[in-house]
Chains A and B, each alone.
Chain A
Amino acid sequence: MDAAHVHNGHGAHGHRNTGLMRWVTTTNHKDIGTLYLVFSLTMFFIGGLLALGIRAELFQPGLQFWQPEFFNQLTTMHGLIMVFGAIMPAFVGFANWQIPMMIGAPDMAFARMNNWSFWLLPPAALLLVASFFVPGGATAAGWTLYAPLSTQMGPGMDLAIFALHIMGASSIMGSINIITTILNMRAPGMTLMKMPLFVWTWLITAYLLIAVMPVLAGAITMLLTDRHFGTNFFNAAGGGDPVLFQHIFWFFGHPEVYIMILPGFGIVSQIVPTFSRKPLFGYSSMVYATASIAILSFIVWAHHMFTVGMPAATQLFFMYATMLIAVPTGVKVFNWIATMWKGSLTFETPMLFACGFIFVFSIGGFTGLVLAITPVDIQLQDTYYVVAHFHYVLVAGSLFALFAGAYYWLPKWTGHLYDERLGKWHFWLSMIFFNVTFFPMHFAGLAGMPRRVPDYALQFADFNMISSIGAFGFGLAQLIFVYAIVKCVRGGEKAKDKTWEGAEGLEWQVPSPAPYHTWETPPVIR
């Protein structure tokens, strides 16, 4: 008897590979989401170890552990690994797990491409980490890879360029998948303005990625051809312009900052209403604010380079455009607070991290406003004030949002409740040690301590010692997170389908743990 027609979805039931091959060949969005999350956690710890190497050296003035060349490799690779290896893949992991479940789709639109998107990442990460072991070591030009420094370095720089190319290709494939999934596979009745905020923020993030990834790819390819093929894009001696690299890099780099924070906004916008037991205040204004932030991100790039020398009118434009971003961001913070206002609040770990996010991210936002003021920025350029600012945005912003999301959806992913006591320990230790690490950096920066230096004047010794103690405390606190996850995966109290009393959304209508296949036929949203 011949089967004239075999189902795509149903034919695949029960034909899952087991063991290692399950993970290599999987096209299931949940499996791929898990792969992304495990990968990003691994890279988070590698990047974290590099950070501890930096802080160990800066514990006291003088050179204790590393030569300056290696110290610069540590700062560069810490940045690259955290941005491209930890934060970005973690959000893609969340997107893979959650978006299909939240919009009532059976999987991502292009399941095989999804597998490819992930499996490009481990070789890229290997290239990055392996670059420490090539002659001359890893690239030490800073994560911004500024020319002409980056055109002069050893083969470690080439490895970093190849790694970034591969990671960029992965991001582009992921973005195409996310856009096509969200636009074409929403359940009947789920109009755009009924989509969960997390899905909205990812749709806009995917657009940003598609818009700016070719810019990064072009920039690093021009670096490569300048290094090896005799071109002079950024070589002033050959008629090129090193400042052009900065323009190109930051045209990519500033939207990249929002690529790393917008999905975090989405996660917090899911969590705050759940634990306030109220609908999100100002849903449509949240959507428009997200879109506004994305649009504005294209016209503020030169605030990263006020000191290169630009006309006063240009400086003013970029200063005011940057300040304008505070408006939609303020709308978001206002809406989160308004959602909590008169809500029936409880503070489980996801809510703690979400509140911590709002508080500490706002501080990062305020210091961003300070840095937007051109004359102030000219003073603070390349000081520890900038380091404090972007860590308040990226650690307490992106990372805390990721932690919040992980605790929020962990019961749905594993079918078990996580250990609330461990979660709370993780939050409070992270919150305290984060501030111990990065708050003193504001003072060190205001006092004039430059970034990317392994040694410093005695006047900065106390601030640096406090920061280093905080950094080791923060690093150790993350082991609690790993333990909490492992414990939750291995067992624990059974999670209900709707784990959180105030949770709304399609993902809470499927069993916990979410079955391998969900929403094979779309639900109807009313």
Chain B
Amino acid sequence: MIAAPEGTEVARAAEFSLVARRNNSLTHAGRSLVFVFIFAGSVGIAAAFAAVGAWLILPFAGIEMLALYLAFRCVDSHAADYECIAIDGDTVKVEFFDGGHVRSYQLSRYWAQVTVSRDGGRLALRSHGRELEIGRYLSDEQRLDMARELKRRLRATG
């Protein structure tokens, strides 16, 4: 999905930019709320049983909540993932945000080549022996569209 160019420093500064984000149908606040709801239910039940002597339910509820917490945290850490491609002057900047880690690459606008498979299954930028695969959050059709747009932009003088 191609979003508006706001959101990243690279995108904001560029003459042309594309930002693709992963799909998230629940916000961070929503996830927190769901977790608290499930946690309260599960631990509440286990605590009530512990109060009447069946305390061995508590550790199992604890392990389960830990697993749920880790699962939600993992989802949360990837919720803000994006890819940004920005063309600014002589450079093409590519930024991957993945699980809280940012990787940035700069290519020369005049040497950068766009390669795309015929079905749009794979899109990459290539320059000086390095290839960056892009378009992770795009459909095959969107990748083909993006390849056309990038080729046009790279040909145009900055």
On A, residues with C-beta under 8 Å from B are: 1-10, 13, 109-110, 113, 172-173, 176-177, 179-180, 183-188, 190, 207, 210-215, 217-219, 221-222, 225, 233, 240-241, 244, 248, 251, 520-522
Residue of B nearest to A245 (CB): B54
Query: Cβ of B105 and Cβ of A184 under 8 Å apart?
Result: no
Query: Cβ of B45 and Cβ of A6 under 8 Å apart?
Result: no
For the complex formed, measure the closest distance between the CB of A310 and the CB atoms of chain B, giving whole angstroms. 14
Residue of B nearest to A176 (CB): B71
Query: Cβ of B46 and Cβ of A218 under 8 Å apart?
Result: yes
Bound-state CA distance A241–B64 (Å) is: 27
Bound-state CA distance A213–B42 (Å) is: 9
Query: Cβ of A188 and Cβ of B1 under 8 Å apart?
Result: yes
Query: Cβ of A184 and Cβ of B26 under 8 Å apart?
Result: yes
Bound-state CA distance A305–B56 (Å) is: 22
For the complex formed, measure the closest distance between the CB of B139 and the CB atoms of chain A, giving whole angstroms. 4
Q: Which chain B positions have C-beta within 8 A of A8?
A: 136
Query: Cβ of A176 and Cβ of B68 under 8 Å apart?
Result: yes
For the complex formed, measure the closest distance between the CB of A515 and the CB atoms of chain B, giving whole angstroms. 12
A selection of 13 A-B contacts at a CB cut-off of 8 Å is: A2-B130, A4-B131, A5-B96, A5-B134, A7-B122, A9-B136, A173-B67, A180-B75, A210-B64, A214-B57, A215-B45, A218-B58, A218-B61
Surface stretch bound by A, among B8-16, B30-38, B144-152: B30-38
Q: Which chain A positions have C-beta within 8 A of B129?
A: 1-2
Q: Which chain A positions have C-beta within 8 A of B1?
A: 188, 521-522
User: Contact mask B93-110 → A, CB, 8 Å, 1/0?
Assistant: 000100000010100000
The 4 A-B pairs of least Cβ separation, nearest first, read: A218-B57, A521-B139, A214-B60, A186-B25
Query: Cβ of A172 and Cβ of B136 under 8 Å apart?
Result: no
Query: Cβ of B64 and Cβ of A214 under 8 Å apart?
Result: yes
On B, residues with C-beta under 8 Å from A are: 1, 23-26, 30-31, 34, 38, 41-42, 45-46, 49, 52-54, 56-61, 63-64, 67-68, 71-72, 74-75, 79, 96, 103, 105, 121-122, 126, 129-134, 136-139, 142
Residue of B nearest to A103 (CB): B25
Residue from B64, B68, B71, B72 whose CB has the most chain A CB atoms within 10 Å: B64
Q: Which chain B positions have C-beta within 8 A of A222?
A: 54, 56
For the complex formed, measure the closest distance between the CB of B65 and the CB atoms of chain A, giving whole angstroms. 9
Taking A179-B38, A184-B31, A218-B60 as given, write out 10 further A-B residue pairs in contact, using a Cβ cutoff of 8 Å, ordered by the A residue number: A5-B96, A5-B132, A110-B74, A172-B64, A172-B67, A176-B71, A183-B25, A210-B68, A214-B57, A521-B1
Query: Cβ of A520 and Cβ of B139 under 8 Å apart?
Result: yes
The verdict on A6 contacting B25 (CB below 8 Å), with A13-B121, A183-B34, A213-B64 known, is no
The verdict on A187 contacting B23 (CB below 8 Å), with A210-B42, A215-B45, A244-B52 known, is yes
Query: Cβ of B75 and Cβ of A1 under 8 Å apart?
Result: no
Q: Which chain A positions have C-beta within 8 A of B132?
A: 4-5
Query: Cβ of A183 and Cβ of B54 under 8 Å apart?
Result: no
Query: Cβ of A221 and Cβ of B72 under 8 Å apart?
Result: no
The verdict on A522 contacting B57 (CB below 8 Å), with A110-B71, A180-B71 known, is no
Query: Cβ of A522 and Cβ of B64 under 8 Å apart?
Result: no
Bound-state CA distance A221–B54 (Å) is: 10
Within 8 Å by CB of A185, from B25, B46, B122, B126, lies B25
Bound-state CA distance A43–B122 (Å) is: 43
For the complex formed, measure the closest distance between the CB of A138 and the CB atoms of chain B, giving whole angstroms. 24
For the complex formed, measure the closest distance between the CB of A526 and the CB atoms of chain B, giving whole angstroms. 15
Residue from A190, A210, A213, A225 whose CB has the most chain B CB atoms within 10 Å: A210
For the complex formed, measure the closest distance between the CB of A323 and the CB atoms of chain B, giving whole angstroms. 23
Residue from A4, A179, A183 whose CB has the most chain B CB atoms within 10 Å: A4
Bound-state CA distance A310–B78 (Å) is: 52
For the complex formed, measure the closest distance between the CB of A132 and the CB atoms of chain B, giving whole angstroms. 28
Residue of B nearest to A113 (CB): B71
